[in-house]
Structure 1
Amino acid sequence: MNKKLSLLSAAVMAAMLLAPAAPAHAGLPFFGSNNQEMPSLAPMLEQTTPAVVYVSVAGSREVRQRVPDAFQQFFGRGQGEMRREQPFRGLGSGVIIDAKKGYIVTNNHVVQDASEIEIRLKDGRTFKAKKLGADPESDIALLQIDAENLAQIPLADSDKLRVGDYAIAIGNPFGLEQTVTSGIISSLGRSGLHEGFEDFIQTDAAINSGNSGGALVNLRGELIGINTAILGPNGGNVGIGFAIPANMMKNLVDQIIEFGEIRRGSLGIRGNDVNAELTKALNLKVNRGAFVGEVLPDSSAASAGLKSGDVIVSMNGNRIQSFNELRAKIATLGAGREATLGVLRDGKEQNIKVKLQEASSGQIAATQLHPMLQGATLNNSDAGVEVSALESNSAAAQIGLRQGDIITGVNRQRVSNLAELRRLLENRDGGVAALFIKRGNDQLYILIR
């Protein structure tokens, strides 16, 4: 009898070891008996997938082509290239983050240069979208549609992610709508893939062309990242995909909503990663972090008391692994925001609070506000919205705008910044919009329809 019990116990133990472990989550029931529910992501996905949308775009972009030497006589010597407009179409994914206001987040590279943006929901409805703003350096864009009965994905705190956490990617790879793949978080704080501000989540959940702008969620259906890039020799999935953390995305979107632009934060330091050589040379007690080589005068860092030789090991309680990670977090947090830095100085760690300055005045292509402003670049100034650059023969130049003009009002309503200009242009009841312009010592009106 004892022998039989021993064999039965061994069999039960083997079955337990071989059976797949179900994550401890209400959406993944596990009973194990015949005809009963098995572990599944379906309950969570039924709530989440309606908030992931299909994005299709159309437009034209400038293409440059070298002029053959034999044709130089026709175009003029020294004219090494021709420029022409070439139409394009593209597709990607997006995530609804605010159902009431119709806000959709996607990648900037999905909608860049697009003159038409169409959103298709899981239930088949389609809507024209407008682009509220974008940040090419972080590859985030914010869209808006006018629709009812939308679903949205709640945001997770992406700073709490750990390597090994489960991750599910939802998007439209190769135009295949509503595709779901799963994996884990493979690494955090990845950078150096492209130029710009990068603090990527790395995952082995399959991400392919068309997934860009889609959702990376946890087992609770909360958004942890926006899928944006893959590392593959032929553009296909090899188990290395990258997503922009949800916290980083939210910081950027909040700035677009509030200011109509990105107000990049600046700390005012130069430095590099902490590595084994630096740790040995300076007898540091850490192997990871951001080494402060120089503190720039009149900067946020100088005002807060940072010193050259400091090692920044955390920001707002979250560990910092590299200088690039710190740079991305500071830049996307935004000007005027406060941060608490964990600093290692003389072998002791201390907290230093800093208030970030603005790296540079954010700019926006005016075509995002109105088609007749195409060709103008606008930025905020103390007096209003300044035309900081203007393309010759553009629509904006033809209606009479000049570089250096400052827009101070629309239809007799005061304009102080880009966000107010956008709001007034969007909320007018059709017809003509009269831009009140300050040009040197002169004041004038320019009408747009």
Structure 2
Amino acid sequence: MRYLSKLIFAVFVLSVHTVSAASLPDFKSLVKEASPAVVNISTIQKVESPDGPILFGPNGEEIPDIFRHFFRMPEFEQGERPKHRAPQSLGSGFIISEDGYLLTNHHVIEDADKVIVRLTDRRELEAKVIGSDKRSDVALLKIEATNLPTVELGKSKDLEVGEWVLAIGSPFGFDHSVTAGIVSAKERALANETYVPFIQTDVAINPGNSGGPLFNLDGEVVGINSQIYTRSGGFMGLSFAIPIDVAMNVADQLKADGYVTRGWLGVIIQEVNRDLAESFGLDKPAGALVAKVLPGSPAEDAGLQAGDVILRFEGEEVTLSSDLPHYVGRVKPGVKADVVVMRDGRKKTVRVKVGVLPNQNQLANAGQSKPDLATGNRLNIDVVELDEQRRDKWQVNAGVVVRRVMPGAGASSGLMVGDVITMLNGEQVGSVADFNRIAKSLPTARSLPMRIVRRGSPMFIPLRIEP
């Protein structure tokens, strides 16, 4: 009986192993077909060489500059310093057309004086940079060759979380390394990367993989491997790829015009948390809260207001505030788009003519307040009139400046000394008298929206006055 039990257990383990092996994808044919179109990219960058020759020891070893004054004997030879740095393997790329167009990351070729592309047949060709876009981290290159192997392009919008994906690249200079994993999430927003809805994967990506392709199981490129999240400098299971739909839109513009244009509304937005959602009459935290409408912007021309919560843009639902720049950025400037907002507890549709995203936006610095003091309000804070210096430097038209914060509703909401209160519960605050009048009639036991400008940055914070 004991032997029979062991036999049954062995058969069970073998069956489980067989089923598990059968359920895993087979990447062999995909790699064979796709690898020839994946390239290694290195750059040469000119550098300023230090003055003086290089010193070599008796065995040919180079003597560091710091020790040069110790070695002035005949047995130490001198040599000329190189004019520029030697090529270094910096990243990967992939060929998208038989006549030599290929894609990689902007940061791979940034500041390069010469870009070298190494093909699978060991040929090394100098590439011309057709165009490069820092905001999306996409670069389009061209090499002079014909009948090149190419990748097949897919649609990143059709990707699903949990789907198998595969990367080919040159991590640490090891050409055509293959790693696989699954899609962990879609449309991830990263810090300082406003206009790319990244694909998050757990595919092992390391330095040198940048610019390489991310494939689905059909052998189609669905993304460009771009970034990793790491505390050690190596792979930690969080990799991010630029969706190929976004990359090809950028590449097409670079090829046609040499630069990229993006849509622009001209609003400063913030996330909607639970308390703010309650204060604006929303069923749940969602949307992008307009903290400021920039003067002369498409948003101002269309009548968008500070305090509007943008819920939909051109049919796309805005769940997180980070969704909005993705949607707006890919709209062609000049297009009229429908924007659904929550205003004064009601939904309203505003039609906006999308503008062109400017190159830079600058914020002003803080100033000093006047000593005109008013006290005795329900927030338990002291406020003063807005002075001209703050008005000019922060570009604030009206409001009151927080002079002192004492324990109470204002302190609980997160108000700080120096904040400028410009709106309270949907009403504009133009003076200390306005502030005191509005504060007296504020309802209790629920969250209310309060707009402030803190060190030049406008934002909404929830205020709650207990009965």
Q: Same fold (TM over 0.5)?
A: yes
Shift of 1:211: 0.1
The residue number in structure 2 matching 1:187 is: 185
Of the candidates 154, 159, 162, which is equivalent to residue 161 of structure 1?
159
The verdict on how the C-alpha distance between 1:205 and 1:273 changes in structure 2, with shifts beyond 3 A counting, is same
Residue 129 of structure 2 corresponds to residue 143 of structure 1? no
The residue number in structure 1 matching 2:389 is: none
The residue number in structure 2 matching 1:259 is: 257
Of the candidates 40, 59, 76, which is equivalent to residue 26 of structure 2?
40
Contact 1:293 1:309 (8 Å CA) reproduced: yes
Shift of 1:54: 0.8
CA distance in structure 2 between the partners assigned to 1:21 and 1:341 by the alignment: 50
Contact 1:207 1:241 (8 Å CA) reproduced: yes
Shift of 1:306: 4.4
The verdict on how the C-alpha distance between 1:306 and 1:231 changes in structure 2, with shifts beyond 3 A counting, is same
Residue 48 of structure 2 corresponds to residue 50 of structure 1? no
The 5 A counterparts of 1:228-239 are 228-239=226-237
Query: Which string of whole-angstrom CA distances, capped at 9 and with x for unpartnered residues, describes residues 202-252 of structure 1?
Result: 111000010000011211122221111111222111111111121221222
CA distance in structure 1 between the partners assigned to 2:223 and 2:158 by the alignment: 12
Of the candidates 245, 248, 264, which is equivalent to residue 246 of structure 2?
248
The residue number in structure 2 matching 1:374 is: none
The residue number in structure 2 matching 1:276 is: 274
Contact 1:198 1:324 (8 Å CA) reproduced: no
1:49 maps to amino acid: S
The residue number in structure 2 matching 1:96 is: 95
The verdict on how the C-alpha distance between 1:102 and 1:344 changes in structure 2, with shifts beyond 3 A counting, is farther
| Secondary structure at 1:163 match in 2 | coil
The residue number in structure 2 matching 1:15 is: 15
1:274 maps to amino acid: V
Percent identity between matched residues is 39
CA distance in structure 2 between the partners assigned to 1:352 and 1:55 by the alignment: 47
Contact 1:272 1:291 (8 Å CA) reproduced: yes
1:188 maps to amino acid: K
Contact 2:95 2:150 (8 Å CA) reproduced: yes
CA distance in structure 1 between the partners assigned to 2:336 and 2:175 by the alignment: 41
Shifted more, 146-155 versus 230-239: the winner is 146-155
Contact 2:44 2:84 (8 Å CA) reproduced: no
| Secondary structure at 2:211 match in 1 | coil
2:85 maps to amino acid: P
Shift of 1:142: 1.0
Contact 1:215 1:227 (8 Å CA) reproduced: yes
The residue number in structure 2 matching 1:427 is: none
The verdict on how the C-alpha distance between 1:16 and 1:195 changes in structure 2, with shifts beyond 3 A counting, is closer
The verdict on how the C-alpha distance between 1:186 and 1:361 changes in structure 2, with shifts beyond 3 A counting, is closer
CA distance in structure 2 between the partners assigned to 1:229 and 1:274 by the alignment: 27
| Secondary structure at 2:125 match in 1 | strand
Query: Which string of whole-angstrom CA distances, capped at 9 and with x for unpartnered residues, describes residues 58-96 of structure 1?
Result: 1125799xxxxxxxxxxxxxxxxxxxx973643210122
The residue number in structure 1 matching 2:131 is: 133
| Secondary structure at 2:32 match in 1 | helix
Contact 1:225 1:243 (8 Å CA) reproduced: yes
The verdict on how the C-alpha distance between 1:115 and 1:311 changes in structure 2, with shifts beyond 3 A counting, is same
The 5 A counterparts of 1:421-432 are none
CA distance in structure 1 between the partners assigned to 2:22 and 2:298 by the alignment: 48
Contact 2:104 2:211 (8 Å CA) reproduced: yes
Query: Which string of whole-angstrom CA distances, capped at 9 and with x for unpartnered residues, describes residues 383-433 of structure 1?
Result: xxxxxxxxxxxxxxxxxxxxxxxxxxxxxxxxxxxxxxxxxxxxxxxxxxx
What is the TM-score normalised by the length of structure 2? 0.60
CA distance in structure 2 between the partners assigned to 1:256 and 1:274 by the alignment: 36
CA distance in structure 1 between the partners assigned to 2:194 and 2:48 by the alignment: 22
2:36 maps to amino acid: P
The 5 A counterparts of 1:21-420 are 39-60=25-46, 87=85, 89-90=87-88, 91-97=90-96, 99-194=97-192, 197-303=195-301, 306-315=304-313, 318-331=316-329, 333=331, 335-336=333-334, 354-360=352-358
1:96 maps to amino acid: I
2:92 maps to amino acid: S
| Secondary structure at 2:328 match in 1 | helix
CA distance in structure 2 between the partners assigned to 1:310 and 1:88 by the alignment: 55
Contact 1:57 1:116 (8 Å CA) reproduced: yes
CA distance in structure 2 between the partners assigned to 1:338 and 1:167 by the alignment: 37
Query: Which string of whole-angstrom CA distances, capped at 9 and with x for unpartnered residues, describes residues 90-133 of structure 1?
Result: 32101222x14422111111111111111112233332100011
| Secondary structure at 1:60 match in 2 | coil
CA distance in structure 2 between the partners assigned to 1:309 and 1:335 by the alignment: 25
CA distance in structure 1 between the partners assigned to 2:188 and 2:214 by the alignment: 16
Contact 1:130 1:144 (8 Å CA) reproduced: yes
The residue number in structure 1 matching 2:61 is: none
1:117 maps to amino acid: V
1:283 maps to amino acid: G
The residue number in structure 1 matching 2:458 is: none
CA distance in structure 1 between the partners assigned to 2:314 and 2:155 by the alignment: 13
| Secondary structure at 2:282 match in 1 | coil
Gaps of at least 5 residues in structure 1 are 29-38, 65-84, 363-449
Contact 2:316 2:327 (8 Å CA) reproduced: no
Gaps of at least 5 residues in structure 2 are 51-82, 361-467
CA distance in structure 1 between the partners assigned to 2:268 and 2:42 by the alignment: 41
CA distance in structure 2 between the partners assigned to 1:44 and 1:315 by the alignment: 38
What RMSD in Å do the two structures reach over aligned CA positions?
3.6
The verdict on how the C-alpha distance between 1:112 and 1:309 changes in structure 2, with shifts beyond 3 A counting, is same
CA distance in structure 1 between the partners assigned to 2:38 and 2:179 by the alignment: 14
The 5 A counterparts of 1:425-440 are none
Contact 2:195 2:325 (8 Å CA) reproduced: yes
CA distance in structure 2 between the partners assigned to 1:351 and 1:12 by the alignment: 61
- Who wins on radius of gyration, i.e. which is larger? 2
The verdict on how the C-alpha distance between 1:203 and 1:360 changes in structure 2, with shifts beyond 3 A counting, is same
Contact 1:224 1:245 (8 Å CA) reproduced: yes
Contact 1:202 1:243 (8 Å CA) reproduced: yes
Query: Which string of whole-angstrom CA distances, capped at 9 and with x for unpartnered residues, describes residues 130-159 of structure 1?
Result: 001111232211111121122222333323
